[in-house]
Amino acid sequence: MPMEIVPTPATVKGPADWFTGDVYLDIVIPQDGRTLARAASVHFTPGARTAWHKHCNGQTLHVTEGIGLTQVRGGDVVVIQRGDTIWCSPDEWHWHGAAPDHFMTHLAMWEGLHPDQEGPETTWGDHVTDDEYRMP
């Protein structure tokens, strides 16, 4: 099959069930059956963040601009910034988002379900509380 230039889908606002604050998604690798790879460029406004969630096959985040925060369940809140790459292990509960006074964009990459797997690629949990969301 020859190389193909895939049209870029329109930017979409992240759903309120998954995010606190204003978050916008640009799909980079669509879920179209060609590959198990998934990728999105995720744009967080200051203070915006994901809900707690986990990915069955893990997730890699690469910060492309700004300053953000991330946390693994039971761990410390960690500052992330442009150039940082973060690996979240399979089924590890975590969240990530922008710092209170900065925008942050990251490339989120993960694998879809393998043929022998069942269940959701991503499981979404509770929203991150203001007490959990804090600068270290």
> Digits of tens for pLDDT over the chain (136 positions)?
688 888 889 999 999 999 999 999 999 998 877 788 999 999 999 999 999 999 999 999 999 999 999 999 999 999 999 999 999 999 999 999 999 999 999 999 999 889 899 989 999 999 999 999 988 8
**Does the domain at residues 12-114 carry the CATH identifier 2.60.40.10?**
no
pLDDT of residue 35: 85
Q: Distance between CA 126 and CA 95 in Å, rounded? A: 10
Q: Distance between CA 125 and CA 59 in Å, rounded? A: 16
pLDDT per residue as tens digits for the range 33-70: 778 899 999 999 999 999 999 999 999 999 999 999 99
* pTM over 0.85, yes/no: yes
Say how many CA atoms lie within 13 Å of 118 toward its Cβ: 0
pLDDT of residue 27: 95
Q: Mean pLDDT of all residues in the chain?
A: 95
pLDDT of residue 135: 84
- Cβ–Cβ under 8 Å, residues 68 and 128: no
Kindly write down the DSSP assignment for every residue of 24-62, as one continuous string.
EEEEEE--SSS-SEEEEEEEE-TT-EEPSEEETT-EEEE
